[in-house]
Amino acid sequence: MSKNVYLDYAATTPIDKQVLKSMLPFLKQNYGNASSLHTPGRKANQAVEKSRATIAHATGMQNKEVIFTSGATESNNLAIKGTFQALNAKFNSLKKLHFITSNIEHHCVLDSFAYLKKKYPKNVEITYLPVNEKGLINPDILAKALKKNTVLISIMMINNEIGTAQPLKKIAQIIKKQKKARSQDQNPMPIYFHSDATQAPSYFSIQCSAYGLDLLTINAHKIYGPKGVGALVIKKGVLIHAINHGGGHEFRKRSGTLNVPGIVGMGKAIELAEKNRDKNIEKITKLRDYFLNQISQKLKRIKVNGSLKKRTPNNINISFLGVEGESLLLLLDKKGIYVSTGSACSSNSLQASHVQLALHNNHLRAHSSIRFTLGKFLLKSDLDYAVQEISKAVNRLRKISQGINQKSECKKS
């Protein structure tokens, strides 16, 4: 009997039945445009506002501080480019604007910064914080990187590849001190703290005040909601310009007809994430630990990438030495087991994962890395099957690579 075991919940998740049910009326009879003044429009608008209130509650913010977008990529683009545009307009004549981020952020964050640097070389400077071999930022290094013109710090809550949880609370304390110093020095530049929390809501609180956040990115499809919808939470008073212009939707911060079914689904997904968080943490932690334990018993020469302690419960990232990730992914795919890899061969860039290299700068280890991400629809028996097939596939590929000198690795310099 063929089995399907989906172990790629960090890529996307299947939709929850309750989420789908909440969306259907807005795809069928309640098709109104939320901006229209007539009855169908008002019904749509009410549903959007209900979802907005749910997200505001989950993030501990006001309804007006929640801006719906097309997803995390757009939210991150808006957070970075939008604050730059607003602050550049305000302070251009005074100073360069300094940004701090980490070198393991998602490409949509790194590429937004790279775009600004390229487009406005005279107005932008960026510091990329390194991570240690556990995949964690050192807050002391961040504190040292701060400048008088630092305006935005963007650090992801949970890394999408290795699942590490960054010390946002410690960073918030550092920023608080900086804010105080600035007010004493009468430095008029604001300093904002943004976090991409895309991978977080199922397992971590997304209360902005708990992390001292001014801006927060979330989306729906990583938490059993629909694709194509996300939000950027923007604290009142944060200076930000829209990057989408048009009808002035979303408090003039994001024009475009609202994706009503998506927004309704996202509200439901967040509601369920909040309600089931403790239960999910317990269930998924047990499954993840069981999975890692079984793999460790069956296979030698494996390395876990990223801290096991400061990590989301649903992620385990393993390098199977002597095996290339794409090969393993393909063999597992044939067995109905779906994973992802940090190997270059799975991308079109010919570059191994920037996250893996930031941790250990070992190319072969990066190429041999496989990300397993778990979710609420998995059973222990699914993992038993997966472990058995992973073990077979790894042994098979190691037979093929036997005799290859694998010591010619690039060591961390």
Partner 1 sequence: MNYSAKVMDHFTNPRNLGTLKNPDGVGEVGNPVCGDLMKIYIKISEKNSQEYIQDIKFQTLGCGSAIATSSMITELARGKTLDQALKISRDDVANELDGLPPAKLHCSNLAADALKKAIKDYQNNK
Residues in contact with partner 1 by the rule CB under 8 A = 322-327, 330-331, 334, 343-346, 348, 350, 352, 363-364, 366-367, 399-406, 408-410
At closest approach, how far in Å is the CB of 321 from partner 1?
Answer: 10
Q: Which is nearer to partner 1, 335 or 376 (CB)?
A: 335
Q: Which of 108, 208, 345, 410 is catalytic?
A: 345
Q: Which is nearer to partner 1, 219 or 343 (CB)?
A: 343
At closest approach, how far in Å is the CB of 302 from partner 1?
Answer: 16
At closest approach, how far in Å is the CB of 338 from partner 1?
Answer: 14
Q: Which is nearer to partner 1, 296 or 406 (CB)?
A: 406
Q: Which is nearer to partner 1, 243 or 330 (CB)?
A: 330
Cross-strand pairs, 223: none
- The closest of 297, 313, 283 to 380, measured between CA atoms, is 283
Angle 265-263-339 (CA atoms, 0-180°, nearest 5)?
55
Angle 311-221-358 (CA atoms, 0-180°, nearest 5)?
40
Provide the residue type at 189 as one letter. Answer: M
- The closest of 235, 274, 279 to 58, measured between CA atoms, is 274
At closest approach, how far in Å is the CB of 360 from partner 1?
Answer: 13
**Is residue 345 among the annotated active site residues?**
yes
Q: In this structure, are residues 151 and 87 in contact, taking their beta carbons and an 8 Å threshold?
A: yes
User: What pairing do the DSSP bridges indicate for beta strands 124-129 and 97-102?
Assistant: parallel
At closest approach, how far in Å is the CB of 363 from partner 1?
Answer: 5
Q: Which is nearer to partner 1, 331 or 337 (CB)?
A: 331
Backbone angles phi, psi at 402, to 5 degrees: -55, 135
CB neighbour class for 218 (10 Å; exposed up to 12, middle 13-18, buried from 19): buried
Q: Which is nearer to partner 1, 349 or 381 (CB)?
A: 349
Give catalytic residues, as residue numbers: 345
